[in-house]
Amino acid sequence: MLKISGLKVKLEEEDKQILKGVDLEVGAGQVHAIMGPNGSGKSTLSYVLSGRDGYEVTEGSAELEGVDLLDMEPEERAAAGLFLAFQYPVEIPGVGNMTFLRTAYNAQRKARGEDEVSAAEFLKLVREKAKDLKIDAEMLKRPVNVGFSGGEKKRNEILQMAVLEPKMCILDETDSGLDVDAMKLVSDGVNALRNEGRSFLVITHYQRLLDHITPDVVHIMANGRIVKTGGPELALEVEKNGYADLMDEVQ
Amino acid sequence: MALAKAKSDATEARLAGLSLPEGGASWAREARQDALNRLTGMGLPQRRDEYWRFTSPAEFLAPETPRAEIALDAPGFDDTEVLRVVFTDGVFDAEASDDLAQENLEIERYADAVTKDIHWIKGLLGVLETAGQNRVDRPFATFNTAFAEDGIVLRATGKVSKPVHLDYRRSDDRAEAVLRHMVRVEDGAELTLLESGVGAARLNTGMEVDIADRGTFHHVRMQGRDHERRAATHVFARLGEESVFKSFTLSLNGMMTRNEVIITLKGDDAVAHVAGAALGDGRDFHHDDTVFITHDAVNCESRQVFKKVLRNGATGVFQGKILVEPDAQKTDGYQISQSLLLDEDANFLAKPELEIYADDVQCSHGSTSGAIDETALFYLKSRGIPEDKAQDLLVLAFVAEALAEIEDEGLAETLRGQLAGWLERRR
């Protein structure tokens, strides 16, 4: 599904190398987790994959189903099936959540050469998805993320994911700012969307999210590289001993 | 002295060949003559006048009417049931208009009203315009009082169910129109006035609105999309106790537009809201909103909300003032003017002013100028929305606060549609 090879990335504005050669392959239907201390480059990886400005790829490649991602505009990557759930979902006053979702949905369909759907059809579709995820339809009437609690914002991300039906989902520190109950709700949403055709890359600092979303593979990232890869037990090890022990061991 | 000389020369040049309208009742002739005297006294403005620092008056001063291509304009307010009043090239067009009759409304041509020896507008014509010259000269409004021959006269005596729609049309690419509208909203009455259309190559409209106690007046105006428009408009309003005045203007394109709104809150507990959104593209776009609100009674509320979206070297101007007289305690005044600059060539010039003589007053003002929020833009793009569409969404979001000032949801939707159309056509 997603194949990253020797990816090196620096900041566009300054001479600072953030990713120093990342190799990663996520198979169809798999859930991979990336853990790592602050500043290890986890979030940068998610931004580079989704096409945010401000980064320069100096070497390496990233492909989604064999198609080069790095050459595409962010909206083209989305239409190709990539989705980034933001660590800090952006508030957009004045734009209704429903308008936003429908515009995104139809733009992706159009980009793929499919017919756009009418407002009425779309409303029906969104209501169903919201119901499946136990999301209050009231949230759809409000401006995008404005006045949403931390939990509501993250659930709104999951709703977008459910509606847009991406193939490859990147969750960037989705657990940050969530209490235990909210984290459970969000995780349930993610689990409901897991299937054999959809892959996930879950970026997190803490192991606790992985109690709810069980990964197939866990990677530890540090200093711009993936330094260790293992099964779910690796996350537990980090939780128990911290990153410092692990770093010593790697070095 | 040099300025005074320049002004009197400009006035002389502009008025050469013009003469006051003939006929009319004696009171109307007097009001026009008085206006002409005042106009020659104050003189037409020059760029050096403080009030015209950001907007060159040259287009309005040129003695000859400039040519302006007649562009197709989207008809306005088609989805609203209205009493349609059409002016073609600045002259009332009876054939294209509806019958001038509606319940709770007295309506007639200005050209007819000024011929009658006894008419209620006798006590109003030029009165609000003259009072509105407090602290600053508004010579183009005085020009309007002197030279306007046609327009509409409205007196609401109760709740007027259908809005009156002034539909400006043009057949002549050098049409010069000077229109005068007189409005009186009686105690407890309600009236909605709509304006739209091309109007003229050079348009000067003046409106005096007198709202009695508990009266309500809504005004919604669409200017656009004819680009080669030069328009100087003035709305003067006087508000009685517990009365309500709300005005909104959507401007799309326009090489030279100056909209002035001058309001005096004269009765306690009155409410005045003035808002507008202007979208301009290109170096030859210039739009100026100039507002002057005087609080002269207790416990009144005023709001000014103006948004401008500018790109490719377009210029937007806002001059807004709140004047609070010594006895106007418990005043609540709010003023915000914001611009969204879609590129580095666009210009926004703002002069917010407060002048307060009462001590128990709440007044706030703010003016900002900014670019598109890149984080929001990326968020939208990351969901598959192409750059131009994402930008349009953010533009609509930016003007939403101003559009929210329109109370009637149907009218707001019509304007939103016009706005979206403008964005889609890229102009």
How many Cβ atoms sit within 10 Å of the Cβ of residue B161?
13
pLDDT tens digit string along B228-239? Answer: 889 999 999 999
pLDDT tens digit string along B334-359? Answer: 999 999 999 999 999 999 999 999 99
Which residues from A are below 8 Å from B375, CB to CB?
90
Query: Which CATH architecture best describes the domain A2-250?
Result: 3-Layer(aba) Sandwich (3.40)
Answer whether B79's CB lies under 8 Å from B410's CB: yes
3-state SS assignment for residue B325: coil
Query: Above pLDDT 90, what percent of chain B?
Result: 86
- Tally C-beta pairs within 8 A across A and B: 76
Indicate the pLDDT class of residue B265, thresholds 50, 70 and 90: very high
pLDDT tens digit string along A56-109? Answer: 999 999 999 999 999 999 999 999 999 999 999 999 988 889 999 999 999 999
Answer whether A213's CB lies under 8 Å from A190's CB: yes
3-state secondary structure B141-178: HHHHHHHCCECEEEEECCECCCCEEEEEECCCCCCEEE
For A78, the closest of B375, B384, B389 (CB atoms) is B384
Which residues from B are below 8 Å from A79, CB to CB?
384
Closest among B62, B63, B89 to B176, alpha carbons compared: B89
Domain ranges of chain A: 2-250
* Residue A197 reports pLDDT greater than 80: yes
* Residue B427 reports pLDDT greater than 70: no
For residues A108-124, give the mean pLDDT: 92
Distance CA A110, CA B390 (A): 15
pLDDT at B68: 86
* Residue B1 reports pLDDT greater than 70: no
Answer whether B206's CB lies under 8 Å from B148's CB: yes
Work out the minimum CA distance from A73 to partner chain B, whole angstroms: 8
Half-sphere exposure of B9 (CA within 13 A, CB side): 7
Q: Does A96 touch chain B (CB under 8 A)?
A: no
Work out the minimum CA distance from B409 to partner chain A, whole angstroms: 15
pLDDT tens digit string along B51-78? Answer: 999 999 999 999 888 888 887 665 689 8
Residue B153 backbone zone (phi > 0: left; psi -120 to 50: alpha; other: beta):
beta
Which has more confidence, B209 or B170? Answer: B209
Distance CA A175, CA A151 (A): 9
pLDDT winner (highest mean) among A25-39, B128-142, B407-421: B128-142
Q: Does A17 touch chain B (CB under 8 A)?
A: no
For residues B130-158, give the mean pLDDT: 97
* Residue A194 reports pLDDT greater than 80: yes
- Please give the angle made by the CA atoms of B170, B181 and B164, to the nearest 5 degrees: 75
Indicate the pLDDT class of residue A24, thresholds 50, 70 and 90: very high
Indicate the pLDDT class of residue B270, thresholds 50, 70 and 90: very high
Q: Which of A13, A52, A98, A116 to mutate to test the interface with B (most CBs of B within 10 A)?
A: A52
Q: Give whole-number Cα distances, A55 to A13, A40, A70, B180, in Å.
A: 8, 15, 11, 59
How many Cβ atoms sit within 10 Å of the Cβ of residue B187?
15
pLDDT at A177: 81
Q: Does A50 touch chain B (CB under 8 A)?
A: yes
pLDDT at B74: 58
- Please give the angle made by the CA atoms of A179, A185 and A186, to the nearest 5 degrees: 85
Q: A44-67 in b/e burial notation, b at 16+ Cβ within 10 A?
A: bbbbbbbbbeebeeeebebebeee
Q: Which of B379, B381, B383, B392 to mutate to test the interface with A (most CBs of A within 10 A)?
A: B383
Domain ranges of chain B: 2-373
Q: Which of A90, A98, A109 to mutate to test the interface with B (most CBs of B within 10 A)?
A: A90
Indicate the pLDDT class of residue A251, thresholds 50, 70 and 90: low
pLDDT at B145: 98
| Angle, in degrees to the nearest 10, between helices A119-132 and A97-111 | 110
Cβ pair A93:B397 closer than 8 A: yes
Cβ pair A73:B381 closer than 8 A: yes
Q: Which of residues 371-410 of B touch A (CB under 8 A)?
A: 374-376, 378-387, 389-390, 393-394, 396-401
- pTM for the model stands at 0.89
Closest among B323, B333, B79 to B220, alpha carbons compared: B79
* Residue A250 reports pLDDT greater than 70: no
* Residue B124 reports pLDDT greater than 90: yes
Q: What is the ipTM of this complex?
A: 0.94
Q: Does B74 touch chain A (CB under 8 A)?
A: no
Which residues from B are below 8 Å from A105, CB to CB?
384
Closest among B150, B51, B148, B155 to B94, alpha carbons compared: B150
pLDDT tens digit string along B294-313? Answer: 999 999 999 999 999 999 99
pLDDT at B18: 93
Q: Give whole-number Cα distances, B255 to A28, A152, A212, B232, in Å.
A: 57, 46, 60, 12
